[in-house]
Structure 1
Amino acid sequence: MDWEEIREECIRTGEFITVQKADVQKLPDFFEETHMGLSKGELRQFRDNRATQSLHIHEFPDHYVVHVDLFNPKFHPVAHGILDTPGIALTLVGGAVSLYFITKAIKKYDLVPMKYEHDDQL
Structure 2
Amino acid sequence: MHKIIAKSLLFLMALGISCSEIPENDDPVIGIWAQLQAPKEASAKHMDREEWIFNDAYLGRYHVYQGNEIMVSTDFQWKSESGVYTISYPGLAKGADRVTIKESAGTTLLIDLQGQVLAYRE
TM-score by length of 2: 0.29
TM-score by length of 1: 0.29
Structure with greater helix share of residues? 1
Higher relative contact order, structure no. (Cα contacts within 8 Å, ≥ 6 residues apart): 1
